[in-house]
Structure 1
Protein backbone atom coordinates (compact mmCIF):
# COMPACT_ATOMS: atom_id res chain seq x y z
CA UNK A 1 0.00 0.00 0.00
CA UNK A 2 1.44 3.37 -1.01
CA UNK A 3 0.66 5.82 1.81
CA UNK A 4 1.04 9.48 1.02
CA UNK A 5 1.48 10.38 4.68
CA UNK A 6 3.72 13.39 4.18
CA UNK A 7 1.43 14.98 1.60
CA UNK A 8 -1.68 14.22 3.66
CA UNK A 9 -0.09 15.60 6.83
CA UNK A 10 1.04 18.80 5.12
CA UNK A 11 -2.37 19.29 3.50
CA UNK A 12 -4.09 18.73 6.85
CA UNK A 13 -1.76 21.19 8.59
CA UNK A 14 -2.61 23.88 6.05
CA UNK A 15 -6.33 23.16 6.44
CA UNK A 16 -6.03 23.48 10.23
CA UNK A 17 -4.20 26.82 9.89
CA UNK A 18 -6.81 28.13 7.43
CA UNK A 19 -9.63 27.03 9.77
CA UNK A 20 -8.04 28.87 12.72
CA UNK A 21 -7.14 31.92 10.63
CA UNK A 22 -10.74 32.18 9.35
CA UNK A 23 -11.99 32.31 12.94
CA UNK A 24 -9.46 34.85 14.18
CA UNK A 25 -11.60 37.63 12.78
CA UNK A 26 -9.90 40.96 12.34
CA UNK A 27 -7.63 40.40 15.35
CA UNK A 28 -4.70 39.55 13.09
CA UNK A 29 -3.58 36.81 15.48
CA UNK A 30 -4.08 33.72 13.33
CA UNK A 31 -2.74 30.24 14.01
CA UNK A 32 0.91 31.18 14.45
CA UNK A 33 0.10 34.10 16.75
CA UNK A 34 -2.18 31.89 18.83
CA UNK A 35 0.76 29.54 19.33
CA UNK A 36 2.85 32.37 20.76
CA UNK A 37 0.02 33.52 23.02
CA UNK A 38 -0.64 29.98 24.26
CA UNK A 39 3.04 29.53 25.08
CA UNK A 40 3.18 32.83 26.96
CA UNK A 41 0.01 31.96 28.89
CA UNK A 42 1.98 29.13 30.46
CA UNK A 43 5.43 30.75 30.40
CA UNK A 44 4.99 34.45 31.06
CA UNK A 45 8.08 36.63 30.71
CA UNK A 46 9.69 34.06 28.42
CA UNK A 47 12.75 34.76 26.32
CA UNK A 48 12.06 35.17 22.60
CA UNK A 49 14.46 32.30 21.90
CA UNK A 50 12.55 30.00 24.24
CA UNK A 51 9.26 30.83 22.52
CA UNK A 52 10.89 30.23 19.14
CA UNK A 53 12.25 26.85 20.27
CA UNK A 54 8.92 25.79 21.81
CA UNK A 55 7.11 26.52 18.55
CA UNK A 56 9.86 25.14 16.30
CA UNK A 57 9.97 28.53 14.59
CA UNK A 58 12.88 30.23 12.90
CA UNK A 59 14.36 33.32 14.58
CA UNK A 60 13.36 35.51 11.62
CA UNK A 61 9.83 34.12 11.57
CA UNK A 62 9.30 34.60 15.28
CA UNK A 63 10.75 38.12 15.14
CA UNK A 64 8.16 39.35 12.64
CA UNK A 65 5.34 37.55 14.43
CA UNK A 66 6.33 39.00 17.81
CA UNK A 67 6.51 42.49 16.28
CA UNK A 68 2.99 42.14 14.86
CA UNK A 69 1.64 40.84 18.19
CA UNK A 70 3.32 43.71 20.04
CA UNK A 71 1.95 46.25 17.56
CA UNK A 72 -1.52 44.73 18.05
CA UNK A 73 -1.22 45.18 21.81
CA UNK A 74 -1.22 41.45 22.63
CA UNK A 75 2.24 41.26 24.19
CA UNK A 76 4.96 43.45 25.59
CA UNK A 77 8.71 43.15 24.99
CA UNK A 78 11.21 44.00 27.69
CA UNK A 79 14.99 43.61 27.85
CA UNK A 80 16.25 40.71 29.94
CA UNK A 81 17.72 41.92 33.25
CA UNK A 82 20.72 39.57 32.99
CA UNK A 83 21.45 40.07 29.28
CA UNK A 84 20.43 43.34 27.62
CA UNK A 85 20.69 41.69 24.18
CA UNK A 86 17.95 39.21 25.09
CA UNK A 87 14.26 40.11 25.00
CA UNK A 88 11.48 38.79 27.23
CA UNK A 89 7.82 38.57 26.24
CA UNK A 90 4.75 39.00 28.44
CA UNK A 91 1.06 38.95 27.70
CA UNK A 92 -0.84 42.21 28.02
CA UNK A 93 -4.43 42.25 29.31
CA UNK A 94 -5.56 42.22 25.66
CA UNK A 95 -3.28 39.24 25.04
CA UNK A 96 -4.80 37.34 27.98
CA UNK A 97 -8.25 38.05 26.60
CA UNK A 98 -7.13 36.79 23.17
CA UNK A 99 -5.85 33.56 24.77
CA UNK A 100 -9.36 32.92 26.09
CA UNK A 101 -10.88 33.45 22.64
CA UNK A 102 -8.21 31.27 21.02
CA UNK A 103 -8.88 28.48 23.54
CA UNK A 104 -12.53 28.52 22.54
CA UNK A 105 -11.56 28.27 18.86
CA UNK A 106 -9.15 25.39 19.56
CA UNK A 107 -11.78 23.57 21.64
CA UNK A 108 -14.15 23.83 18.66
CA UNK A 109 -11.43 22.62 16.35
CA UNK A 110 -10.56 19.65 18.55
CA UNK A 111 -14.23 18.64 18.60
CA UNK A 112 -14.39 18.95 14.81
CA UNK A 113 -11.18 16.95 14.29
CA UNK A 114 -12.10 14.16 16.67
CA UNK A 115 -15.69 13.73 15.51
CA UNK A 116 -16.30 10.16 14.39
CA UNK A 117 -13.13 8.73 15.99
CA UNK A 118 -12.87 6.64 19.12
CA UNK A 119 -10.59 7.54 21.98
CA UNK A 120 -8.37 4.59 21.04
CA UNK A 121 -8.06 5.79 17.45
CA UNK A 122 -7.21 9.31 18.58
CA UNK A 123 -4.60 7.92 20.99
CA UNK A 124 -2.87 6.22 18.04
CA UNK A 125 -2.95 9.43 16.01
CA UNK A 126 -1.52 11.41 18.95
CA UNK A 127 1.17 8.80 19.47
CA UNK A 128 2.07 8.89 15.76
CA UNK A 129 2.28 12.69 15.68
CA UNK A 130 4.41 12.69 18.83
CA UNK A 131 6.64 10.06 17.23
CA UNK A 132 7.15 12.27 14.18
CA UNK A 133 8.07 15.27 16.30
CA UNK A 134 10.50 13.31 18.41
CA UNK A 135 12.03 11.43 15.50
CA UNK A 136 12.60 14.46 13.29
CA UNK A 137 13.62 17.01 15.94
Structure 2
Protein backbone atom coordinates (compact mmCIF):
# COMPACT_ATOMS: atom_id res chain seq x y z
CA UNK A 1 0.00 0.00 0.00
CA UNK A 2 1.37 3.41 -0.97
CA UNK A 3 1.20 5.89 1.88
CA UNK A 4 0.37 9.53 1.22
CA UNK A 5 2.64 10.78 3.99
CA UNK A 6 2.98 14.37 2.80
CA UNK A 7 -0.75 14.81 2.21
CA UNK A 8 -1.64 13.12 5.49
CA UNK A 9 0.92 15.14 7.43
CA UNK A 10 -0.29 18.45 5.96
CA UNK A 11 -3.93 17.55 6.60
CA UNK A 12 -3.15 16.53 10.18
CA UNK A 13 -1.20 19.76 10.78
CA UNK A 14 -4.17 21.87 9.63
CA UNK A 15 -6.52 19.83 11.84
CA UNK A 16 -4.25 20.30 14.86
CA UNK A 17 -4.08 24.07 14.26
CA UNK A 18 -7.86 24.33 13.90
CA UNK A 19 -8.36 22.27 17.10
CA UNK A 20 -5.97 24.50 19.08
CA UNK A 21 -7.37 27.69 17.55
CA UNK A 22 -10.90 26.65 18.50
CA UNK A 23 -9.85 26.21 22.13
CA UNK A 24 -7.40 29.12 22.41
CA UNK A 25 -9.19 31.49 20.05
CA UNK A 26 -11.10 33.30 22.80
CA UNK A 27 -7.80 34.23 24.42
CA UNK A 28 -6.63 35.86 21.20
CA UNK A 29 -3.45 33.80 20.82
CA UNK A 30 -4.31 30.83 18.57
CA UNK A 31 -1.93 28.00 17.70
CA UNK A 32 0.87 30.16 16.27
CA UNK A 33 0.71 32.58 19.18
CA UNK A 34 0.79 29.71 21.66
CA UNK A 35 4.03 28.52 20.04
CA UNK A 36 5.61 31.93 20.55
CA UNK A 37 4.43 32.12 24.15
CA UNK A 38 5.69 28.59 24.90
CA UNK A 39 9.11 29.54 23.51
CA UNK A 40 9.26 32.72 25.59
CA UNK A 41 8.17 30.84 28.72
CA UNK A 42 11.02 28.38 28.22
CA UNK A 43 13.72 30.87 27.18
CA UNK A 44 12.82 34.21 28.75
CA UNK A 45 13.58 37.53 27.07
CA UNK A 46 14.40 36.50 23.46
CA UNK A 47 15.22 38.15 20.15
CA UNK A 48 12.30 38.13 17.73
CA UNK A 49 14.49 36.54 15.04
CA UNK A 50 15.50 33.73 17.40
CA UNK A 51 11.86 32.94 18.17
CA UNK A 52 11.09 32.90 14.44
CA UNK A 53 14.03 30.60 13.72
CA UNK A 54 13.03 28.22 16.51
CA UNK A 55 9.47 28.04 15.19
CA UNK A 56 10.37 27.97 11.50
CA UNK A 57 8.47 31.20 10.84
CA UNK A 58 9.28 33.78 8.18
CA UNK A 59 10.56 37.16 9.40
CA UNK A 60 7.48 38.98 8.08
CA UNK A 61 5.09 36.44 9.55
CA UNK A 62 6.89 36.53 12.89
CA UNK A 63 6.85 40.33 12.93
CA UNK A 64 3.10 40.44 12.34
CA UNK A 65 2.44 37.76 14.94
CA UNK A 66 4.58 39.56 17.53
CA UNK A 67 2.70 42.80 16.86
CA UNK A 68 -0.65 41.04 17.35
CA UNK A 69 0.59 39.45 20.58
CA UNK A 70 1.82 42.83 21.79
CA UNK A 71 -1.47 44.49 20.89
CA UNK A 72 -3.26 41.76 22.87
CA UNK A 73 -1.08 42.42 25.90
CA UNK A 74 0.69 39.02 25.86
CA UNK A 75 4.21 40.29 25.13
CA UNK A 76 6.23 43.47 25.23
CA UNK A 77 8.53 44.35 22.34
CA UNK A 78 11.68 46.31 23.18
CA UNK A 79 14.78 47.25 21.18
CA UNK A 80 17.77 45.06 21.86
CA UNK A 81 20.32 47.07 23.90
CA UNK A 82 23.22 45.74 21.77
CA UNK A 83 21.55 46.23 18.37
CA UNK A 84 18.81 48.86 18.04
CA UNK A 85 17.59 47.21 14.82
CA UNK A 86 16.79 43.99 16.67
CA UNK A 87 13.65 43.49 18.76
CA UNK A 88 13.34 41.46 21.96
CA UNK A 89 10.12 39.84 23.19
CA UNK A 90 9.19 39.46 26.84
CA UNK A 91 6.13 37.75 28.30
CA UNK A 92 3.71 39.88 30.27
CA UNK A 93 1.64 38.61 33.18
CA UNK A 94 -1.25 38.13 30.76
CA UNK A 95 1.11 36.17 28.52
CA UNK A 96 2.10 33.89 31.42
CA UNK A 97 -1.57 33.19 32.16
CA UNK A 98 -2.14 32.43 28.47
CA UNK A 99 0.80 29.97 28.53
CA UNK A 100 -0.80 28.11 31.44
CA UNK A 101 -4.16 27.94 29.65
CA UNK A 102 -2.56 26.86 26.35
CA UNK A 103 -0.59 24.12 28.15
CA UNK A 104 -3.88 22.65 29.33
CA UNK A 105 -5.19 22.69 25.76
CA UNK A 106 -2.04 21.00 24.42
CA UNK A 107 -2.11 18.41 27.20
CA UNK A 108 -5.71 17.60 26.28
CA UNK A 109 -4.82 17.37 22.59
CA UNK A 110 -1.83 15.10 23.26
CA UNK A 111 -4.11 12.75 25.21
CA UNK A 112 -6.67 12.81 22.40
CA UNK A 113 -4.05 12.05 19.76
CA UNK A 114 -2.45 9.27 21.80
CA UNK A 115 -5.74 7.51 22.48
CA UNK A 116 -5.89 3.98 21.10
CA UNK A 117 -2.13 3.71 20.46
CA UNK A 118 0.44 1.80 22.46
CA UNK A 119 3.56 3.50 23.80
CA UNK A 120 5.60 1.54 21.25
CA UNK A 121 3.45 2.83 18.38
CA UNK A 122 3.71 6.40 19.65
CA UNK A 123 7.48 6.01 19.92
CA UNK A 124 7.59 5.16 16.20
CA UNK A 125 5.42 8.17 15.32
CA UNK A 126 7.59 10.48 17.45
CA UNK A 127 10.76 9.07 15.90
CA UNK A 128 9.36 9.50 12.38
CA UNK A 129 8.30 13.10 13.03
CA UNK A 130 11.65 13.96 14.60
CA UNK A 131 13.59 12.38 11.78
CA UNK A 132 11.43 14.16 9.20
CA UNK A 133 12.23 17.48 10.83
CA UNK A 134 15.97 16.69 10.94
CA UNK A 135 16.06 15.66 7.28
CA UNK A 136 14.24 18.70 6.01
CA UNK A 137 15.89 21.50 8.00
Query: Superposition RMSD on alpha carbons, in Å?
Result: 0.6
Aligned to 1:112: 112
1:127 is displaced (CA, Å) by 0.4
Describe the SS at the equivalent of 1:57. coil
Say which SS state the counterpart of residue 90 (structure 1) adopts.
Answer: strand
- Inter-partner Cα distance in structure 2 for 1:119 and 1:24: 28
State the alpha-carbon separation in 2 of the partners of residues 26 and 12 from structure 1.
22
- SS for the counterpart of 2:116 is coil
User: TM-score w.r.t. structure 1 length?
Assistant: 0.98
1:10 aligns with 2:10: yes
Could you list the per-position Cα deviations for residues 28-63 of structure 1 after superposition, in whole angstroms to 9, with x for gaps in the alignment?
210000000000001111000100000000001101
Distance in structure 1 (CA, Å) of the matches to 2:25 and 2:13: 20
TM-score (norm 2): 0.98
Distance 1:16 1:68 in 2: 21
| Alignment match, 2:98 | 98
Q: CA deviation at 1:24?
A: 1.1
How far did 1:25 drift? 3.6
- TM superposition outliers: structure 1 runs of 4+ over 3 Å: none
Q: Which residue of 1 aligns with 2:69?
A: 69
Query: Unpaired runs of 5+ in structure 2?
Result: none
Question: Counterparts of 1:8 and 1:25 in 2: how far apart (Å)?
Answer: 25
Structure 1, gaps ≥5 residues long: none
Residues matched between the structures, number: 137
1-side partners of 2:49 and 2:105: how far apart? 27
